[in-house]
């Protein structure tokens, strides 16, 4: 196992949480002092842009670019929102990060708020994350007590209030504009974009939404510098590390911080300790339930944004779910699609009606009652839903279905020819 630098998990000890005393002993909050005392807001925005940090919430949007669109110089109310909803199946890295070392997120948010001159922030956290909620509540109290939150932080003249908000508990609340509606106490449907949140966000004010892991990287970038952060990746053009949450049919299913660009094969063999029970690798979702499958042919693909897009998938959230060769891929896809259909907020027709119909088709095939026309029909649904739904939930749902058709068509046909699931006796 090659040695690599840890940032987000450098203080992590299984089963324990690092609070302020130890965080500060390990260099915590030095980035905040540096940012507030030695850097202008524009210098921080430029450093984050130069670091190459891309959003860790799924879409991979360049963080510095997002911050550069923000009306930082405009006075008045503006908001910073941290997205900790994390309800995508197979994704649990934000929870692990918060439970291990919550002050990184708090420090990252204060620096981000200073960089965009934002006076108020919210951390929006998944309903089921009770322990992570408690860890953050304590971290916020400690940061306030130390004078890192509130008025005139470290005598800089900059003030920032940070609040914690528990989600009502639906997957759609992770979509940033639905999240803003949820925070306002409204029905959590997505909003149309434009206007983007940077222009009209929470309570109609300019708002930046970033993921937990994205914001937790900020203190490390300020301390180490943009070039150092970029150099941590194994890929040319990649930057930083990534939290990979392993799950599924592996011998070891834990969350690891690894350099961006590590290959899928290294993750499976070295960190997942191989496919369980001596079985063979059949497929994986490389970045959560909404990313297209990879197969054994993709073992040498670097887990980075561009290389994964080149092979038809996405880095997404970095939740790597592995399926062994005893898995029926039709059944696995049906299971995923049922989740997305259930979680549709019902706002737009392709998602509300399209996803249950896709589940119906997959179930029919899985039961051995499908026809060859059903395959064409599935393809048509993927084509029809992609790009036509109001937000990316339905498009994400089509990731596994599209790749099932592309990579496992023979297995679908086998169900139809045999009139049963070939993997069931
Ligand atoms: C259905 C759906 C669910 C999402 N869930 C999350 C989530 O739980 N956490 C998250 O950070 N981003 C989630 N996103 C992406 C957010 O809309 C947004 O892109 C992200 O929070 C931006 O942060 P980043 O740029 O730091 O990645 C979701 C998107 C969709 C369409």
> What's the rounded mean pLDDT across residues 106-114?
99
How far does residue 295's CA lie from ligand 1's centre (Å)?
26
Confidence at residue 1, expressed as pLDDT on a 0 to 100 scale: 65
Does the structure show a pLDDT above 80 at 148? yes
How far does residue 282's CA lie from ligand 1's centre (Å)?
28
Find out whether the beta carbon of 374 lies less than 6 Å from any atom of ligand 1. no
Separation CA 46–CA 68 (nearest Å): 8
> What's the rounded mean pLDDT across residues 163-190?
97
At 37-91, the pLDDT tens digits run 999 999 999 999 999 999 999 999 999 999 999 999 999 999 999 999 999 999 9
Q: Return the best residue to mutate from 49, 55, 56, 58 for the ligand 1 pocket (most ligand atoms within 8 A of CB).
A: 58
Could you give the C-alpha distances from 313 to 291, 318, 402, in angstroms and in order? 6, 12, 10
- For residue 179 the two structure tokens come to 């999240």
Find out whether the beta carbon of 214 lies less than 6 Å from any atom of ligand 1. yes
Q: Fold for 20-230, please state it.
A: Rossmann fold (3.40.50)
How far does residue 206's CA lie from ligand 1's centre (Å)?
18
Could you say which DSSP state residue 421 is in? -
Confidence at residue 86, expressed as pLDDT on a 0 to 100 scale: 98
Domains 20-230 and 329-418 share a fold: no
How far does residue 189's CA lie from ligand 1's centre (Å)?
14
Q: Return the CATH number of the domain spanning residue range 329-418.
A: 1.20.1440.230
Find out whether the beta carbon of 94 lies less than 6 Å from any atom of ligand 1. no
H or E, element range at 97? helix 93-100
Percentage of residues in the chain having pLDDT higher than 70: 99
How confident is the prediction for the chain on average, in pLDDT?
97
* SS3 state at 310: helix
Confidence at residue 424, expressed as pLDDT on a 0 to 100 scale: 86
How far does residue 228's CA lie from ligand 1's centre (Å)?
27
Find out whether the beta carbon of 61 lies less than 6 Å from any atom of ligand 1. yes
Task: Name the band, by pLDDT with cuts 50, 70 and 90, for residue 313.
Answer: very high
CATH-assigned architecture of domain 234-324? Roll (3.10)
Does the structure show a pLDDT above 70 at 319? yes
Q: Where are the domains of the chain?
A: 20-230, 234-324, 329-418
Taking CA atoms only, the protein residue closest to ligand 1 atom 22 is: 210
Q: State the closest ligand 1 atom to the C-alpha of 396, by its place in the atom list counted from 1.
A: 31
> What's the rounded mean pLDDT across residues 193-203?
97
At 227-269, the pLDDT tens digits run 999 999 999 999 999 999 999 999 999 999 999 999 999 999 9
Separation CA 389–CA 367 (nearest Å): 29
How far does residue 392's CA lie from ligand 1's centre (Å)?
10
- For residue 240 the two structure tokens come to 């930083």
Does the structure show a pLDDT above 80 at 342? yes
Q: What are phi and psi of 418, to 5 degrees?
A: -80, -15
Please tell me the pTM assigned to this model: 0.98
Does the structure show a pLDDT above 90 at 3? no
At 124-144, the pLDDT tens digits run 999 999 999 999 999 999 999
Taking CA atoms only, the protein residue closest to ligand 1 atom 18 is: 176
Taking CA atoms only, the protein residue closest to ligand 1 atom 19 is: 59
Pure H helices in 232-385: 264-266, 305-310, 329-343, 349-352, 354-366, 372-385
């Amino acid at each position: 196992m090659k040695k690599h630098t840890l940032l987000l998990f450098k203080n992590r000890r299984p089963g324990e949480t690092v609070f302020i005393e130890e965080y500060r002993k390990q260099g915590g909050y030095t980035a905040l002092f540096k940012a507030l005392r030695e850097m202008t807001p524009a210098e921080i925005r430029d450093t984050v842009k130069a670091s190459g940090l891309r959003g860790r919430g799924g879409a991979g949007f360049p963080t510095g670019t997002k911050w550069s669109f923000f009306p930082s110089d405009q006075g008045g109310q503006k908001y910073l929102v941290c997205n900790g909803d994390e309800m995508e199946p197979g994704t649990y890295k934000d929870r692990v990060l918060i439970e291990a070392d919550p002050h990184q997120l708090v420090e990252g948010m204060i620096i981000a708020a200073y960089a965009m001159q934002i006076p108020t922030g919210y951390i929006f956290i998944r309903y089921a994350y009770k322990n992570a909620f408690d860890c953050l509540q304590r971290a916020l109290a400690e940061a306030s007590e130390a004078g890192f939150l509130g008025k005139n932080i470290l005598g800089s003249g900059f003030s920032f209030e940070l609040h914690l908000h528990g989600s009502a508990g639906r997957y759609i609340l992770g979509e940033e504009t639905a999240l803003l509606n949820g925070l306002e106490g409204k029905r959590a449907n997505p909003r149309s974009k434009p206007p983007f949140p940077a222009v009209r966000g929470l309570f109609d004010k300019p708002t930046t939404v970033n993921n937990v892991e994205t914001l937790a990287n900020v203190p490390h970038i300020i301390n180490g510098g943009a070039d150092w952060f970029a150099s941590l990746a194994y890929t040319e053009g990649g930057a930083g590390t990534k939290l990979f949450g392993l799950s599924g049919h592996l011998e070891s299913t834990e969350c690891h911080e690894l350099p961006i660009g590590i290959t899928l094969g290294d993750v499976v063999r070295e960190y997942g300790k191989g496919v369980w029970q001596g079985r063979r690798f059949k497929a994986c979702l490389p970045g959560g339930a909404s990313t297209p499958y990879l197969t054994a042919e993709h073992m040498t693909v670097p887990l980075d944004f561009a290389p994964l897009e080149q092979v038809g998938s996405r880095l997404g959230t970095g939740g790597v779910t592995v399926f062994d060769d005893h898995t029926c891929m039709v059944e696995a896809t049906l299971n995923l699609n049922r989740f997305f259909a259930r979680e549709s907020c019902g706002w737009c027709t392709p998602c509300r009606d399209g996803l249950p119909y896709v589940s119906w088709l997959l179930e029919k095939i899985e039961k051995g009652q499908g026809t060859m026309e059903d395959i064409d029909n599935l393809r048509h649904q993927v084509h029809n839903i992609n790009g036509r739904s109001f937000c990316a939930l339905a498009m994400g749902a089509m990731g596994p279905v599209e790749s099932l058709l592309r990579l496992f068509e023979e297995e679908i046909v086998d169900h139809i020819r045999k009139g049963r699931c070939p993997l069931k006796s």
